[in-house]
Each structure stands twice: as C-alpha cells, then as structure tokens.
Amino acid sequence: MHELGILNSMIHTIQNVVNEQGITEVDKLVIEIGELSGIVPHYIEECWPAARYKTFMENTELELIVIPGMVKCRDCGEVFNAVSADLSCPKCGSRNMEILEGNDMIIKEIICK
Ligand SMILES: [Zn+2]
C-alpha cells in the first residue's frame, strides 16, 4: 500500500505552496484520481487521517473525484472505459490501446477559509 507515501509527499508539496502565500490552514482538499493511476481511492480515504495527523492539514476535509479510465483502441478506434471493459476492446477484442485520461492523480482544488 503506497497510498500513505503518496499522501505524505502531497501534503509536503501543498505546504510549500501555501506557505509562500501565507496560508496556515486548509479547509478542504479536492483530489482527482484516475481509474488507471494504480492508486486506490478507498486506500487514500483510509490513509488520510494518518497522513494529515500533526500536520497543518490536520483539520482538512478530503474530497475524492474518480476520473474514468478512458482509452482508445489502436486497432479499430473505439473509445471506451478500460476498467468496465476489463482492459480489452468491446468492439474488436484488441488489448492494444492508448490511454486518453484517468492515468494520474492531481490536486484539483485547495480550499482555504
Ligand atoms: Zn478495437
């Protein structure tokens, strides 16, 4: 489970950003997690209380938005959700695909009081 490490480095990054702006408290953090990122949203939620403990984000609420893992078949051009199609093209069965979106995790919003 690498989610705790991901959150720790994310908190560190945000701290650097908000410190520059003189912000000491963050109300809410919104993160987008792609279905193909290899990051499990459920684990992120579970790790959040541990990750924020004794940091400047101790009272910060976390909101997760899951971005569908959309891919395009390189053989027939079909665009589909890779996760619900079990990683093969529903039209031609090919597993040769290009990721269009949903393969990363981004900080969408940092909301302060
Ligand atoms: Zn196809």
**Residue pLDDT, tens place only, 23-48:** 889 999 999 999 999 999 999 999 99
User: Which residues, chain by chain, have CB under 5 Å from ion ligand 1?
Assistant: 73, 75-76, 78, 89, 91-92, 94
- Going from the Cα of 72 to the center of ligand 1, the distance in angstroms, rounded, reads 8
pLDDT tops 70 at residue 94: yes
| Res 41: pLDDT | 94
User: What pTM did the predictor assign?
Assistant: 0.86
Listed range (10-14, 40-44, 88-92, 109-113) with the worst mean pLDDT? 109-113
In a domain, 79, yes or no: no
Distance between CA atoms of 28 and 49, rounded to whole angstroms? 13
- 88 located within any domain: no
Task: Identify whether the C-beta of residue 51 lies closer than 8 Å to the C-beta of residue 11.
Answer: yes
For residue 63, is it within any domain? yes
Is residue 66 within 8 A of residue 41, CB to CB? The reply is yes
- Spatial neighbors of 5 by CB under 8 A, at least 6 apart, are none
Res. 1: pLDDT tops 80? no
Whether 82 maps to a domain, the answer reads no
C-alpha 76 to ligand 1 mean position (Å): 4
How remote is the CA of residue 22 from the centroid of ligand 1, in Å?
A: 51
